[in-house]
Every structure is written in C-alpha cells, then in structure tokens.
Structure 1
Amino acid sequence: MLRSVLIALSLIAFPAAALAHSCPSLMAEIDAALPDASLSEEERARVMELRSQGEQQHQAGDHDASMTSLEEAKGILGI
C-alpha cells in the first residue's frame, strides 16, 4: 500500500519537475537566438523584458508563468 502511494506521488511530482527544468533550456534558446535576430528595437526590448521576467518567475518557483513568458519571447524571435 505504502509503495503504491509513493509511486503515485512520484508520478504526480514528475511533470512539475520536468517543467521546472525546461525553463533554463528556453532561456538558453532565447539567449542564443537574440544576437542574430532581425528585430525592431521595440521587439528586441520586449524579448529582453520577457526573458528577464521568465527568469525571475522561474527563480520564484512560478514555472507556469515562466514558461508562458519565455514562449512568448520565443514567438517574437520566431523560434
């Protein structure tokens, strides 16, 4: 019984941990694409703002919000 409960808890916790670990990879993708991106100054500023916001949200443990911010930045970059 206890083993079943532990397995169930592990399965519930795993997706949250997986999301938490994809924030840094999204930040790295943005960082790699930004220098060569053809963006207006406004778009570049928005990407940098979203990137920073996403990092702060990640550090605060709000991984859903971080993913949203970082995905929006990627969308502006076209990646």
Structure 2
Amino acid sequence: MESGETIREAVIREFKEETGITLIDPVLKGVFTILIEEDGQRVDEWMMFTFVCDQYKGEALKHSPRAGSLAASS
C-alpha cells in the first residue's frame, strides 16, 4: 500500500500494475492475519485482504512486470 491509499484503492492499483486490468467495484470478502513465530516468539505479522470482483475493463498484459508470462498453459 502507498501512503494515504485505502485497501480498496491499493487492490485496484496493484491488480492493474500486475495484469493491465482495471477492477470495477471490488468487494472485500475477508481479512486474514498471519502470525510469524520463531521459538515461540512472534517476529512478524501480516494482514491479507481478499477481494472478489466480477466487473473489469482493459486487456490482460502478455507479461507481468514481475512474474513473466500471464498466458494460460495447457
């Protein structure tokens, strides 16, 4: 997330950056907290926000800026 950005704004921006597709009205479906422990001590904590969206605009990128090809393989 960027400073001043809502979770919803972040998912729209991140999804577009990675796929080229702009989500329209994504809906928050779940929030998960992941605790990282070492030797019984909490060393980190992550939050994961899960969205669902059935409307979008744009075309998928052929290659993700980070992961490479987005094409489905058979």
Common fold, TM-score beyond 0.5? no
Q: TM-score normalized by structure 1? A: 0.26
Could you say which structure has the greater relative contact order, defined with CA pairs below 8 angstroms and 6 or more residues apart? 1
Q: Is the helix fraction higher in 1 or 2? A: 1
Q: Is the strand fraction higher in 1 or 2? A: 2
